[in-house]
């Protein structure tokens, strides 16, 4: 994937909002916590200070991670093709005639419980670049196999 993070426009916006929140809210709050903890005196046995430093490290690491994601974001082009590819929402029918609806996204946005599957997951990679009506064999990491039929592509 050449170091790029494939994101939907919505996914990129979500990361930008999280970054903004951390910089404008969490970072100043933690700095204030550190000031208050320092005012308590001896830092060698100051649990409040240690906790604030740990939280500061966690937040700063997340800020760096988000900056990297945003800097290396590759926005998924929303095309009008009739194939199932990144950014498309598909309705799949299983062999027992039940259906599921998924949006195919990059791995960073993957959230199966919210109906977003990664293009790198067994199901996501199996249905990529297929057309409406295609019957697709899905092979799971555990060795199971099943078929799905692509009923809709939006």
Q: What is the pLDDT along the chain (154 residues), one digit of tens a residue?
A: 457 889 989 899 999 999 999 999 999 999 999 998 888 877 677 788 889 999 999 999 999 999 999 999 999 877 777 899 999 999 999 999 999 999 999 999 999 999 999 999 999 999 999 999 999 999 999 999 999 999 999 9
Query: At CA 74, angle to CA 86 and CA 107, rounded to 5?
Result: 55
- Output the pLDDT for position 47: 84
The Cα 113–Cα 5 span in angstroms is: 21
- Output the pLDDT for position 49: 85
What number of other Cβ atoms are within 10 A of residue 128's Cβ? 17
- Output the pLDDT for position 2: 59
- Output the pLDDT for position 1: 43
Residue 18 CB burial class (10 angstroms; 0-12, 13-18, ≥19): middle
Entry pTM: 0.76
Is-contact 108 69, C-beta < 8 A? yes
- Output the pLDDT for position 3: 76
Q: Is 3 helix (H, G, I), strand (E, B) or coil?
A: coil
The Cα 130–Cα 117 span in angstroms is: 16
**Hey, what domains does the chain have and what are their CATH numbers?**
5-75 (1.10.287.180), 89-153 (3.10.50.30)
- Output the pLDDT for position 81: 78
**What is the dihedral angle through the alpha carbons of 113, 10, 23, 5, rounded to the nearest 10 degrees?**
80
Sign of CA dihedral 82, 83, 86, 92: positive
- Output the pLDDT for position 4: 87
């Amino acid at each position: 994937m050449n170091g790029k993070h494939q994101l939907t426009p919505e996914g990129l916006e979500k990361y930008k909002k999280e970054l903004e929140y951390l910089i404008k809210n969490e970072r100043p709050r933690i700095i204030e916590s550190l000031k208050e903890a320092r005012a308590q005196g001896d830092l060698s046995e100051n649990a409040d200070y240690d906790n604030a430093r740990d939280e500061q490290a966690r937040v700063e690491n997340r800020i760096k991670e988000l900056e990297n994601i945003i800097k290396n974001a590759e926005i998924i082009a929303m095309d009008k093709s009739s194939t199932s590819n990144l950014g498309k929402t598909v309705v799949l029918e299983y062999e027992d005639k039940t259906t599921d609806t998924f949006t195919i996204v990059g791995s960073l946005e993957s959230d199966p419980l919210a109906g977003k599957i990664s293009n790198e997951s067994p199901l996501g990679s199996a249905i990529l670049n297929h057309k409406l009506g295609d019957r697709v064999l899905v092979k799971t990491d555990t060795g199971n196999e099943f078929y799905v039929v692509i009923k809709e592509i939006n």
